[in-house]
Amino acid sequence: MRKEGMVRFWRWPERRSDLSTAGRRLTAAALPVIGLLALAPPAVAQPASPEAGPTVMLIGYLARQEDPRTPLSFLEPVATDEGLQGARLALADNNTTGVFLKQSYRLVEQVLPQDGDIAAGVKALADEGVRFVVADLPADALLAAADQPEAKSMLLFNARATDDALRNEQCRANILHTAPSRRMLADALAQYLAWKKWPRWSLLTGRDPGDTLYAEAVRRAAKRFGGKIVAEKSWTFDTGNRRTDTGVTTIQSDIPLATQGPDYDVLVVADEAGDFGDYLDGRTWYPRPVAGTQGLTATAWSRVNEQWGGTQLQSRFEKLAGRWMTQRDYAAWLAVRSVGEAAARTNATGFGDLTGYLHGPDFELAGFKGEALSFRAWDGQMRQPILIAGPRMLVSVSPQEGFLHPVTPLDTLGDDAPESKCRLNR
pLDDT in tens, 328-378: 999 999 999 999 999 999 998 899 999 999 999 999 999 999 999 999 999
Domain boundary among 266, 281, 299: 299
- Both 217 and 71 in one domain: the answer is no
Give how far Cα 150 sits from Cα of 122, 174, 232, Å.
7, 11, 45
On whether residue 263 sits in a domain, the answer given is yes
Please give the Cα distance from 190 to 27 (Å, whole number): 25
What is the average per-residue pLDDT within 294-322?
96
Is pLDDT at 425 greater than 60 in this prediction? no
In a domain, 410, yes or no: no
For the chain, what is the mean pLDDT? 87
Indicate whether 288 and 306 sit together in one domain: no
- Closest Cα to residue 210, out of 165, 172, 255? 165
- Strand 55-64 and strand 45-46: the pairing is antiparallel
- Residue 151's Cβ-side half-sphere holds a number of Cα atoms within 13 Å equal to 24
**What totals of helices (H) and strands (E) does the chain contain, helices first?**
10, 17
Q: Is the pLDDT of residue 15 over 80?
A: no
Q: What is the pLDDT of residue 26?
A: 35
When pLDDT is cut at 50, 70 and 90, the band that residue 79 belongs to is confident
**pLDDT reading at 249 higher than 80:** no
Residue 248 and residue 366 in one domain: no
Strand (E) or helix (H) holding 397: strand 394-398
Find out whether 370 and 307 touch, Cβ atoms under 8 Å. Answer: yes
Same domain assignment for residues 322 and 174:
yes
Q: Is residue 375 part of a domain?
A: yes
Q: Which residues pair with 10 in a beta bridge?
A: 107
Say whether both 155 and 193 belong to one domain. no
How far the first Cα of the chain sits from its last, in Å, is 43
38 lies in the same domain as 108: yes
Q: Are residues 23 and 56 in the same domain?
A: yes
**Residue 76, pLDDT score:** 74
- 288 in the same domain as 318: no
* DSSP class per residue in 64-133: E--PPPPPSSTTSPP-S-TTHHHHHHHHHHHHHHHHHHTEEEEEEEEEE-TT--HHHHHHHHHHTT--EE
153 and 222 part of one domain: no
Domain enclosing residue 136, as ranges: 7-180+302-385
pLDDT surpassing 70 at residue 5? no
Question: Same domain for 17 and 157?
Answer: yes
Chosen domain end from 258, 279, 299:
299
Check which CATH number belongs to the domain holding 136 and give it: 3.40.50.2300
Rounded to an integer, what distance in angstroms lies between the CA atom of residue 336 and that of residue 331? 9
The strand pairing partners of 291, in sequence order, are 268, 296
pLDDT in tens, 213-226: 999 999 999 999 99
State whether residue 315 is helix, strand or coil. helix
pLDDT tier at 32, thresholds 50, 70, 90: very low
- H/E segment holding residue 270: strand 266-270
What is the tally of structural domains in the chain?
A: 2
The residues pairing with 388 across neighbouring beta strands, listed in sequence order, are: 298, 396
Q: Can you tell me the mean pLDDT for 131-151? A: 98
Q: Is the pLDDT of residue 99 over 70?
A: yes
Question: Of 246, 280, 299, which residue sits at a domain end?
Answer: 299
Q: Are residues 168 and 192 in the same domain?
A: no
Dist CA 219 CA 292 (whole Å): 12
In a 3-state reduction of DSSP, which class is residue 8? strand
- Note whether residue 76 is domain-resident: yes
Of 424 and 207, which is predicted with more confidence? 207
Three-state DSSP class for residue 390: coil
The mean pLDDT value for 282-308 works out to 96
| Interval 284-303 mean pLDDT | 97
Does a structural domain hold residue 413?
no
Q: Is the peptide bond before 113 cis (omega within 30 degrees of 0)?
A: no
**Region 134-149: what's the mean pLDDT?**
98
Between 74 and 243, where is the model more confident?
A: 74
| Within-domain flag for 292 | yes
In a shared domain, residues 144 and 34: yes
